Amino acid sequence: MTAAALHIPVLLDAVMAGLAPVPGETHVDGTFGAGGYTRALLGAGVHVFAFDRDPDAIAEGRPIEAESQGALILVPERFSRMREALAERGVEQVDGVTLDIGVSSMQIDRAERGFSFQADGPLDMRMERAGMSAADFVNMADEDEIANVLYQLGDEPRSRRVARAIVAARPITRTGELADIVRKALGHRPHEKKDPATRTFQAIRIHLNAELEELEQGLAAAEHVLRPGGRLAVVSFHSIEDRIVKRFLRERSGATPAGSRHAPDRGDAGPKPSFEAVAKPVRAGEQEVARNPRSRSATLRVARRTGASPWGTYQPQDQGRQG
């Protein structure tokens, strides 16, 4: 099966409506995945720089790039580096940026990538196939660190109990093993629809791949590369990610006052709004959720770049919680 057949793009129509691509424009798809958004953008007649940090996603996208006759350039990089990567390719400004945060169905469905608690595989979870693996983390981190990651990034209310069980069961090398340890530690609760391992897997994945930091840096990078009038569309799947996007856009559209560190040298007036909200956040409707259950928790936010200078680095003031 091809990558595109495995992954159904989420909120595609709403994303395209938000990006409003005009033929001849240049857009960034920061999360190429199976190329669902990129294909739609190419179909609308725009040039696309499509980023993905997963070498498999890039390799599987090469045929689309070859067919595109120069309209698509695949960039095997993190989207946090979009400003530098575009500059290296002679591009300073673009008309649209899309981020579809998180993992693709290909990553989840392929047991050998180690993202899934439903299919047994090596405990990996690295999007880039490099750096610390999930096995390294659960086998080497101390109990407190594991508990904090599970609490902060997975909303696991019984993070200490799970961390204790993980440490007691080390070494752990398979996703199936980790899932069983979590299920045993938390017990089977009939009213819980979700597998109790979901939260632990989500937390470890977000931690290992530094996904929240990537999102913050990606938003700030998009602010730099979008031309005045350029559109930003961000789809996220967890409240913790959506909170980052919401706060970024609220702050940069002037809806909430910026912290003083954002504008230490810009005088009392502070920076001018660099984005304006375009529409209310969009959630998937019943039909889409029935067709694609992954869309259930998706939220799309769209904003338009103003002509004001970029504010620069984004450091949310109050995003973490202590476990």
Ligand X SMILES: C[S@@+](CC[C@H](N)C(=O)[O-])C[C@H]1O[C@@H](n2cnc3c(N)ncnc32)[C@H](O)[C@@H]1O
Can you give the binding site for ligand X, defined by CB under 6 A?
7, 9, 30-31, 33-37, 51-54, 57, 78-80, 100, 102-104, 127, 214
Least Cα distance to 98 among 165, 48, 150 occurs for 48
Least Cα distance to 271 among 242, 313, 243 occurs for 313
DSSP conformation class of 272: P
Least distance from ligand X to the Cβ atom of residue 228, Å: 25
Contact 247, 256 (CB under 8 A): yes
**Closer Cβ to ligand X, 37 or 311, answer by number:** 37
Least distance from ligand X to the Cβ atom of residue 238, Å: 12
**Closer Cβ to ligand X, 57 or 163, answer by number:** 57
**Closer Cβ to ligand X, 25 or 52, answer by number:** 52
Total H helices, total E strands in the chain: 14, 8
**Closer Cβ to ligand X, 46 or 57, answer by number:** 57
Least distance from ligand X to the Cβ atom of residue 162, Å: 25
**Closer Cβ to ligand X, 32 or 186, answer by number:** 32
Least distance from ligand X to the Cβ atom of residue 102, Å: 5
Least Cα distance to 236 among 317, 153, 296 occurs for 296
CA 285 to chain centroid:
21
Least distance from ligand X to the Cβ atom of residue 132, Å: 16
Distances (CA, A) of 265 to 12, 227, 269: 41, 24, 10
Distances (CA, A) of 262 to 189, 242, 300, 309: 46, 21, 26, 13
